[in-house]
Structure 1
Amino acid sequence: MLAFGLLKSYGMLLVELLKVYDGGAGTTAMVGSVTSLVMSFIGLFGCTLGEMTTFRKVLLVGGIFQSSGLFFSVFVNRLPVMFLTYTLITGMGYGLLISPCATVLNFYFEKRRALASGLLNSASGVGMFIFQYLYRSLFDEYGLEGCLLIISGIVLNNCVAGSLIRQPQQLKGPNVSLTMTSDRIPPINTFTKFLRKVFKTRFTLFRNLSFALECASLALAQIGYASHFFLYPAFVKSRGFDDTSAVLAMVILSSVEVICKIMMGGLADYISPAILHSTVMFVGGVAAVVVTFTKKLWLLYAYAAITGALPGTFFVFMPPILVRSCGLKNLGASLSTAIVMGALLVAVCVPGLGLMADLTANWNLSFQVIGAIFFTSGLLMVAAEAKTSRKI
């Protein structure tokens, strides 16, 4: 809630950054999109570190990084510096929090893994719901600097939550240890083993065609859905509505997402999560194209609800889909790989979508492209499901 929920609320921060720094939609959107890239790249190492040491230690360090980055952002007076404080430092915190947390949960469930994933992911919707209003209230009362200072203190609660995480029994066996030498410097061979474990496992996964198709589908889903947190508030405002309307649209999206993630999680324990993923992507793709033809506020709210209810639930399906094709043992590696692939594309595509808006002077083309991305994600998952079913 305090990590992913805050990251997903970047759209409100983007609006304020545009006011304060006037850096252009493309550059300002890049601050958030590259944060997602840093988060996902660090997540590759975070999951492996959690297996080799403990997830508790990883989450504690992640909470410190997230808070520190927000705190240092208070003193920034030029937008490019935000790439150091928010994008790099806070992004590293996100990476050590989100992927490890999403991974460790699945070791404790088997029959109701999708429902557990839904409950976990619904917390990000609750966080987004809270931070949408909190951002706006703190901006109005204390300005950008005061807001970031207060938020940096709030997210330190991640350290408290991380300290309560127990290491799964499956990960307590013999493994590569990251113990320190007497001079407190990790030996080179240990570091080499660590890197080999991180990258060899990931490269091996791509020999599995089902995983390759699933990874591509999930990466595209991340682009389509993550784009809304960066761009949808600006899209609503471009229709002639104020900040309050933009906030309410995002609150609707997050509120519906909370409920539907739990429902979809329960449903995915009985219906193939791959089929559910394809269905929500197809519907989301059509809706993203249709919304560009309206300027009615109630339809903009309706689109926010549809996006939260359908494409917004895709992350719930990721663990059960990947466990089926790669196995529980490789869940951390496959999940973090799928996330980092999506983040690489988000880092490129979200600024590109913002640039489209700058060049065309509206957001219509950007959201039509998002619709095409959703639809392609659904098609790739259909192909992956067909391949996995033949193997089984």
Structure 2
Amino acid sequence: MDTGYSWVVLTACCCINMLAFGLLKSYGMLLVELLKVYDGGAGTTAMVGSVTSLVMSFIGLFGCTLGEMTTFRKVLLLGGIFQASGLFLSVFVDRLHVMFLTYTVITGIGYGLLISPCATVLNFYFEKRRALASGLLNSASGVGMFIFQYLYGSLFDEYGLKGCLLIISGIVLNNCVAGSLIRQPQQLKEPNVSLIKTPDLNPINACVIFFRKVFKSRFKLFRNLPFALECASLALAQIGYASHFFLYPAFVKGRGFDDTSVVIAMVILSSLEVVCKIILGALADHISPTVLHSIVMLVGGVAAVVVTFTEKLWLLYAYAAITGALPGTFFVFMPPILVRSCGLKNLGASLSTVIVTGALLLAISVPGLGLMADITGNWNLSFRVIGAILFTSGLLMVVDEVKRSNEVNDKMQRDLI
């Protein structure tokens, strides 16, 4: 169902992803300014951003279900209001710890009500080009990251932290405009998914029905073996790739190179991610996304181990390019993979479950990988473990593809008999 309105939805979702996920991925620039203004320590200041990601992932579990039971338009409008409100209230914060309420909680809720529901609703409007649409959507977050990094730098110099947050809070209100363009997909208009069609339903019963639906749908998913394999594989991919944003700068500096080299490496990684998400997204509409996911993860896993044996800068740049171009594209494959195993109507539940699983494991694994570096005195063991994580992600998807192929062959043989 790739109609003219489908591209309107894609444009609106790309705008939302750019203003939400792009801003979230630019937290590193905000972190530097927060350290200057509040002097709260690197650990506490970094936690403001890392916990925001956890809040975003957790709220995503409820945001998708809420969109199915009411409308995605209402959820996206609410998310835009929360994101802008959290940034606006942060203007009046005088102590860093209050940022955990204004930015981490309020803005984090906004991210959760925008990012997962946005990635879910888009797939109801694309069938033939679903992976390409997913690639374009995810590339928008990379574009947003570059834009907000530039904006942060310019606005900090001109207006300071508070003025910058005030201006950006106004910019992200455009999410409400984009969200208002989203119509509820036809597949979700059955009477049994709506809370608002029962006027005598009191708030307590409505909450009970809502939370029961949220958790029941998630537990039911894990009875499906293909989903369990895919969830494990995609969550490991999330750990293996996202950990580079925390650890690869330290890895490059540990090889004796300066901050400029670190910046170049991360720009290469991010740039290749943006471009290759579109390329591999288009390719995944013609080749099995599970096969593509397996290939990029297996190659990325081998590369993460190999890079620990070199100290040449050009090879470190080459590894950054490989990581951005291959493991960096894993999110593109998630919707088509999950739709095939769980069905379109369960995409919101399955997608948000995978994201929150990966986020929780990432919060545990990154400190663990840092501890390995502290114990060994370098980052080699940490990146070999990252390589093993990426390789395991690829192997699990190979198992899933083989199992699926065997089931198809068995069905064809039964039909012939």
Task: Give the structure-2-normalised TM-score.
Answer: 0.84
Aligned residue type for 2:188: L
Partner of 1:277: 293
Higher relative contact order, chain-length normalized (CA < 8 Å, sep 6+): 1
Instruction: Identify the range of structure 1 (353-362 vs 301-310) with the bigger mean alpha-carbon deviation.
Output: 353-362
Is residue 31–residue 82 contact of structure 1 (8 Å, CA) maintained in 2? yes
**Residues of 1 paired with 2:219 and 2:57: CA distance?**
16
Structure 1 residues 239 and 59: CA distance shift in structure 2, 3 A? farther
Query: 1:48 — aligned with what?
Result: 65
Q: Which amino acid aligns with 2:274?
A: V
Structure 1 residue aligned with 2:138: 121
Output the aligned Cα RMSD: 2.8
Query: How far did 1:96 drift?
Result: 0.5
Structure 1 residue 43, shift from structure 2 partner? 0.8
Which whole-Å deviations, capped at 9, do the CAs of 1:317-361 have from their partners, x for residues lacking one? 001111111111211111111111111112222343345556666
Q: How many residue pairs align between the two structures?
A: 391
CA distance in 1, matches of 2:337, 2:132: 13
2:212 to 179, 193, 196: 196
- The answer to whether the 8 A contact 1:215-1:338 is kept is yes
Structure 2, unpaired ranges of 5+: 1-17, 409-417
Residues 127 and 147 of structure 1: is their aligned pair in 2 closer, same or farther, counting only changes over 3 Å? same
Relative to structure 2, which stretch is displaced further, 239-248 or 197-206?
A: 239-248
Pairwise mapping of residues 87-102 of structure 1 onto structure 2 (< 5 A)?
87-102=104-119
- Equivalent residue letter for 1:290: V
By how many angstroms is 1:138 displaced? 3.9
Q: 1:221 to 1:32 in 2, by over 3 A?
A: farther
Cross-structure match for 1:178: 195
- Whole-Å Cα distance in 2 between the matches of residues 362 and 146 of structure 1? 40
Stretches of structure 1 that go unaligned for 5 or more consecutive residues are: none
2:338 is matched with which residue: 304, 322, 331?
Answer: 322
State the distance in 1 between where 2:154 and 2:259 align.
11
Asked if 2 retains the 8 angstrom alpha-carbon contact of 1:3 and 1:94, the reply is yes
**Mapped contact 2:276–2:325 kept (Cα < 8 A):** yes
**Higher mean C-alpha deviation, range 129-138 or range 3-12:** 129-138
- Shift in Å at residue 308 of structure 1? 1.4
TM-superposed CA distance for 1:160, in Å, is 1.6
2: CA distance, partners of 1:230 / 1:383:
30
Q: 1:182 to 1:197 in 2, by over 3 A?
A: closer
Q: 1:90 and 1:173, CA in 2 relative to 1: closer, same or farther beyond 3 A?
A: same
Aligned to 1:345: 361
Between the aligned partners of 2:375 and 2:246, the Cα distance in structure 1 is: 18
Secondary structure of 1:211's counterpart equals helix
The alpha-carbon deviation at position 368 of structure 1 amounts to 3.1
Q: C-alpha distance in 2, partners of 1:166/1:305?
A: 38
Residue 86 (structure 2) aligns with = 69
- SS where residue 107 of structure 1 aligns? coil
Matches of 1:236 and 1:16, distance apart in 2 = 23
Write the distance in 2 (CA, Å) between the matches of 1:374 and 1:382: 13
Counterpart residue number, 2:317 = 301
CA distance in 1, matches of 2:300, 2:36: 31
The code of the aligned residue for 1:68 comes to S
Report deviation, 1:251. 2.8
